[in-house]
Amino acid sequence: MMTSIPSPTAADARHVSRRHVLFGLGILAAGAGLARPALAALPAEDVQRVEAYLNGLTTLEARFTQINPNGSTSRGLLFMRRPDALRLQYDRPSRVLMIASEGRLTYSDPAMNQQTSLSVEDTPLSILLRPRIDLDEGVRVTDMLRQNDELQLRVVPTSAKVQGSLTLVFGDRPFELRRWAVVDAQGLVTQVMLEQVQTGVELDEQIFRFRNPKIWGPNANALP
């Protein structure tokens, strides 16, 4: 039976660690593989509703609150342009930035002198950036739960490169993505809650272009 992912609350954290950011995007949901139960008879209407909503998204802008496994909280701005771009920018004093574009995802923390790049397809959240989202391709829907006017849907990537599970939580009135949760092999949960969600907004192309701060300077990736 699927365990409900509660609406998160926690205390603020002063520093956003690389591990917490990568957990939030489902990149570190690795280790011993999670059990992958057989697909139960899930309501086709709900699955189709989720697919239609995600495929209908062109752009999305929101504030986010990330609840880390240790209970600390990080906040920032999320920008998404389907089907190929995403940006998470954490609030000051953090300088952490995550940009996905043209199939690559780049993590940058100038304060810690850290920069990492990997394929978007190696992350569970790649499901949100596919040209066409089909919950029968590349992922398996393992559980679905309706609770308190919310629909929770857990998906497990079929790729051996990506381990862990991703739970997407949708509000019913109106039907929209409210938050997601990543569960790692040890059962640790990282949640990302969306607020002030706007869809169909104009987003500047520059938002999704990453420039190396070592070359372009400390403000190379500032919002336009």
| pLDDT greater at residue 131 or residue 138 | 131
Within 10 A of 37 (CB to CB), how many other CB atoms are there?
11
Chain position carrying tokens 């990282």: 190
Q: Is residue 94 assigned to a domain?
A: yes
CATH code for the domain of 118: 2.50.20.10
pLDDT tens-digit readout, 143-172: 888 888 999 999 887 875 666 788 999 998
pTM across the whole model: 0.79
Q: Is residue 217 assigned to a domain?
A: no
Q: Give ∠ CA 139-140-142 in degrees, rounded to 5.
A: 145
- Is 50 exceeded by the pLDDT of residue 27? no
| pLDDT greater at residue 2 or residue 57 | 57
Strand partners, 153: 144, 168
- Is 60 exceeded by the pLDDT of residue 82? yes
pLDDT of residue 6: 54
- Integer Cα distance of 165 and 157 in angstroms: 7
| pLDDT greater at residue 21 or residue 174 | 174
Q: Is residue 99 assigned to a domain?
A: yes
- Integer Cα distance of 24 and 208 in angstroms: 19
- Is 70 exceeded by the pLDDT of residue 69? yes
Q: Is residue 213 assigned to a domain?
A: no
Which sign does the torsion angle of CA 122, 155, 168, 74 carry?
negative
pLDDT of residue 90: 92
**Poorest-confidence range of 13-22, 77-86, 116-125, 174-183?**
13-22
Considering its fold, how many domains does the chain have in total?
1
Helix (H, G, I), strand (E, B) or coil at 95: coil
Q: Is residue 4 assigned to a domain?
A: no
Q: Is residue 110 assigned to a domain?
A: yes
Q: Is residue 2 assigned to a domain?
A: no
DSSP string, 158-212: -STT--SEEEEEEEETTEEEEEEEEE-TT--EEEEEEEEEEES----GGGG----
- Integer Cα distance of 96 and 108 in angstroms: 6
Q: Considering only CA atoms, which of 57, 119, 66 is closest in space to residue 89?
A: 66
Q: Is residue 140 assigned to a domain?
A: yes
Which sign does the torsion angle of CA 122, 123, 124, 125 carry?
negative
| pLDDT greater at residue 1 or residue 90 | 90
pLDDT of residue 10: 39
**Poorest-confidence range of 104-113, 138-147, 212-221?**
212-221
Domain that holds residue 140: 14-195
pLDDT of residue 216: 82
